[in-house]
Amino acid sequence: MPTEPVIEIKGLTKYYGDVVGVKDLDLEVRKGEVFGFLGPNGAGKTTTIRVLMDFIRRSSGDVKLMGLDPETAPDDVQARIGYLPGEVGHYGGMTGRRFLRYLMDLRGIDCWERVEVLAERLDLDMSKRVKDYSKGNKQKLNLVQTFMHEPDLYILDEPTSGLDPLMQQEFYKLVMEEKTKGATVFMSSHVLAEVEHVCDRVGILKDGHMVALESMASLKDKTGKVLDVEFGPGVNVTVDMFDIEGVRGVKVHDHSLRMTVIGKVDPVIKRLAQYDVASMSFQPFSLEHLFLEMYGAEDIDDIKMNGSEENNGSGPNDSKDGLSDRDKGGARL
């Protein structure tokens, strides 16, 4: 049974001068949903989020959050949002405690108990000054401020980027808990693997346009894992060595093969076993691969993946396979 819409975006367009930030964006996120807002850097994710937060104003279109227009009733909307910016600025001279209390005070509420619970849970020392915090502690601080007031809607801009694997797990747990409580989560990312654990649905943004809107379940059917194999010197490596159902996009490079495994892994492993394998790695499917798969683009360049260099397709090293090898498995197709 579909629940009420929490985020309603219709024909949202934002120009920066002549440059398009987002164009004709339509999107609806319902209560209790965890929505992954995907796209390469520069696709317009942050633009959309900043319009939702009323930091910037749309050129045209309609936006409603929980039934309210953030542009006309920003404060009522913001009271019900937990927001995590892509880059968080801190008052370095404050202690973590004072920083959190300040943000709490500005909300005009008392949720200090929850702050303490979260800090304990994330193992955050609130007595230190923020500028003396390690990167990890700053991230914990950011998470506490996002989740402390138990809002109805979470708007998270690249929440997982730069989180260490442990923190990432903790973050996913927090998101799932909030979802259970009935909160709605809208999170952006440029790496599919970072959101696939928690998202019910994802939308993919490219050059300011929404190019795909899929439930995670149907997306998983279309995606798989990327397998890199380096063979021993005696092996004659060809494209049709792995002509198996569920294997796609096989590419040869010297003595290495790269392929996308969508179906079962077993026949691939059996086939591999017939050859002299020097090394191999399994990686989660990246957004870049998804583009290649879904849109049949020949090359990364064709789809202008601005973020592809630095993120180069590999997810964080928390791959369940335990095989991921970033250096080797970099998705430089």
Partner 1 sequence: MKIPFKLFVMERTLREPIKGMLIFCLIILFIGWGVVAMFPTWSESQGEALSEVGSEFMSVKELDKDNGTYEVAWMSLNDTLPFMPQDMLLEFFDNYSLTESSNSSMLDEQEVYRGNRTQIVLDGRTGGPYFYQLYILFEDPGNGQVMQYPFRNVSTEDIGKKTGLESFENLMDNPAYKAYAGGADIDIYSLKGFMVTEFFGFVPLMVGVYIAYLVAGVVSKEIEDKTADLVLATPLSRERFLIEKYIAMMMLALVIVGTMALSLYLGVVYIDTNEMTGGDILASTFIFYPLAMVIAGYSLILSVLFDEQKKAMGASLGVFLFTYALHLGSNISESLEGLKPYIPYHYANYQETLASGSMDAGDAGVLIAAGIVLFGIALYLFRKKEIYL
Beta-bridge partners for 189 = 38
Please select the residue that binds partner 1; options are 76, 116, 125, 325, rule is CB under 8 A: 76
Please select the residue that binds partner 1; options are 36, 40, 85, 316, rule is CB under 8 A: 85
The candidate with the shortest Cα–Cα distance to 314, out of 291, 295, 332, is 332
Torsion over CA: 140, 96, 34, 49 (sign): negative
Residue 50 or residue 206: which is nearer to partner 1 going by CB?
Answer: 50
Cα distances from 213 to residues 29, 204, 209, 219, in angstroms, run 11, 6, 11, 9
Cα distances from 215 to residues 154, 186, 262, in angstroms, run 19, 14, 17
What's the closest the beta carbon of residue 283 comes to partner 1, in angstroms? 30
What's the closest the beta carbon of residue 291 comes to partner 1, in angstroms? 25
Which residues have C-beta within 8 Å of that of residue 16, sequence separation ≥ 6?
none
Q: Does 112 bind partner 1 (CB under 8 A)?
A: no
Q: Does 61 bind partner 1 (CB under 8 A)?
A: no
Side chain identity at residue 318, one-letter code: D
Please select the residue that binds partner 1; options are 20, 68, 79, 272, rule is CB under 8 A: 79
Residue 85 or residue 284: which is nearer to partner 1 going by CB?
Answer: 85
Please select the residue that binds partner 1; options are 20, 32, 68, 103, rule is CB under 8 A: 103
- What HEC string does 142-178 produce? HHHHHHCCCCCEEEECCCCCCCCHHHHHHHHHHHHHH
Using an 8 Å Cβ cutoff, are 205 and 198 in contact?
A: no
**Binding region for partner 1 (CB under 8 A) out of 1-9, 68-76, 115-123, 288-296:** 68-76
**Binding region for partner 1 (CB under 8 A) out of 52-60, 204-212, 248-256, 289-297:** 52-60
CA distance 17 to 25: 18
**Binding region for partner 1 (CB under 8 A) out of 83-91, 111-119, 288-296, 312-320:** 83-91
Please select the residue that binds partner 1; options are 3, 62, 71, 91, rule is CB under 8 A: 91
CA distance 152 to 146: 12
CA distance 25 to 188: 15
**Binding region for partner 1 (CB under 8 A) out of 4-12, 102-110, 228-236, 280-288:** 102-110
Please select the residue that binds partner 1; options are 20, 28, 41, 56, rule is CB under 8 A: 56
Please select the residue that binds partner 1; options are 1, 2, 18, 106, rule is CB under 8 A: 106
The candidate with the shortest Cα–Cα distance to 175, out of 203, 196, 147, is 147
Judged by CB under 8 A, the chain residues 7 through 46 that form the site for partner 1 are 46
Both tokens of 197, joined, read: 């654990």
What's the closest the beta carbon of residue 155 comes to partner 1, in angstroms? 9
The candidate with the shortest Cα–Cα distance to 310, out of 191, 211, 197, 208, is 191
What's the closest the beta carbon of residue 184 comes to partner 1, in angstroms? 16
CA distance 39 to 109: 35
What's the closest the beta carbon of residue 147 comes to partner 1, in angstroms? 13
**Binding region for partner 1 (CB under 8 A) out of 75-83, 174-182, 202-210, 250-258:** 75-83
Judged by CB under 8 A, the chain residues 114 through 153 that form the site for partner 1 are 145
- Site residue total, partner 1 (CB under 8 A): 29
Interacting residues toward partner 1 by CB under 8 A: 46, 50, 53, 55-57, 74-76, 78-79, 81, 83, 85-91, 93, 102-103, 105-109, 145
